[in-house]
Amino acid sequence: MPYNCVVCVKQVPDTANVTVEAMKSDGTVNRAALPAVFNPEDLNALEAALRVRDTHGGTVTVVSMGPLGAAEVLRECLFRGADRCILLNDRRAAGSDTLATSYILSRAVKKLGACDFVFCGRQAIDGDTAQVGPQLAEKLGLPQVTYYERILDLTDRKVLIRRNMGDGWEVVETELPLLVTVLDTANKPRPPAARRVLRHKRAKAPGEVAREVQDAMPDATSQEREVEEASRIEKLKMQGLLIEQWGLDEVEADLAWCGISGSPTKVHRIQSIVLTKEGFTNVPPTQEGVRDLIHELIVDHTFG
């Protein structure tokens, strides 16, 4: 039987090259200052969903919450075989912690209607929290199977899954619908298919179309631009190249649970440890010298 799969993906800053300039004064990240990449384990989540569809039939719908630039990872999903992509984009969602993020994602998944599987990457490399998957499962009222490695059997509504906990593995049996978080060891994500790249590289979200029209018609009135935007969006839709774009109103999110005000955790302080790499300290081999060094490492939280 066919299964409808939803995949949640995230565009993340490439955390290999972070400087203090990339941090804003409130402690949040200035993503614009860093190269953006497809969160690695979300590619494994997408692959897991595509394999379910390729084997059993059904659909793969991808949802990504983020700035307009995150449309790029959705195009990457189209290149690899996703059927439908939705960009969740709203300024009022900025500053969301994992709880607010999972709430907003849950509103979008609910708007999509009945689905059988929700696939998430285990964690994103910018925060490494691994919290959004389980929190989204709870918000959707679904059971969760974290650390998904592979499906051993899928028959009707019953699924047998092997999970890998690092220090061992487990086989669990459960019923759909279900949320799983996928490990990087689960599969080898397929590369973009050349034919699909050619077809989908022009796919765009309405926000991107608006920017494009703005650039193309700098002297036009806002009314003229709106007409042009609407016509281009309609054309993309006809060609099946429209990346849908939803805001918090479209998913009927309660604003009290979104963004900074909807986030119980607040960033109090940020310390960069990149900048301490400079310089060399010669520590005398005495009890006093060693004690000062240990003290310094405790104060800067190198160890607890």
Partner 1 sequence: MIEPNRQGDVWVFAEHEDGNLSEVSLELCGKARELADRLGVSTAAVLPGRDLDGVTKPLISHGADKVYRVQDPRLEHYRTLPYARVMCRLIDKHKPQIVLYGATPLGRDLAPRVASEMRAGLTADCTDLDIGDYEDKGAGTKHSNLLLQIRPAFGGNIIATIVNHDRWPQMATVREGVMFLGEGDDKRTGEIVNETIVFEDVDEIVRVIERHREPRTVNLKGARAIVAGGAGVGSKDDFGLIHDLAGAIGGAVGASRAAVDAGLVGKEHQVGQTGTTVRPALYIACGISGAVQHRAGMEESAKIIAVNSDPEAPILSVAHYGIVGDLRTVIPMMIKSIKERA
Nearer residue to partner 1 within complex by CB, 201 or 295? 295
Closer by beta carbon to partner 1, 170 or else 226: 170
Site for partner 1 in 245-304 (CB under 8 A): 260, 263-274, 276-277, 279-287, 289-291, 293-295, 297-298, 300-304
The whole-angstrom separation of Cα 98 and Cα 10 is 13
Report d(CA 186, CA 32) in Å as an integer: 31
Residues 149-178 that bind partner 1 (CB under 8 A): 160, 165-175
- Looking at residues 112 to 141 of the shown chain, list those that interact with partner 1 (rule: CB under 8 A): 125-135, 137-139
Of residues 5-44, those binding partner 1 (CB under 8 A): 13, 15-16, 18, 23, 27, 29
| 224 contacts 216 by C-beta, under 8 angstroms | no
CA neighbours within 13 Å on the CB side: how many for 39?
26
Longest dimension (CA), the chain: 77
Angle ∠(7,179,10) on CA atoms, nearest 5: 35
Distance CA 38, CA 56 (A): 26
**Alpha carbon 90 to its chain's center:** 15
Nearer residue to partner 1 within complex by CB, 89 or 98? 98
Q: Which is nearer to partner 1, 68 or 130 (CB)?
A: 130
Q: Tell me the C-alpha distance between 66 and 6, whole Å.
A: 17
Structure tokens at 280: 């060399």
Minimum distance, C-beta of residue 127 to partner 1, in the bound complex (Å): 6
Binding residue for partner 1 (CB under 8 A) from 8, 108, 145, 186?
145
Nearer to partner 1, 94 or 273 (CB): 273
**Shortest separation between residue 265's beta carbon and partner 1, angstroms:** 4
Q: What residues from 81 to 110 belong to the interface with partner 1 (CB under 8 A)? A: 97-99, 102
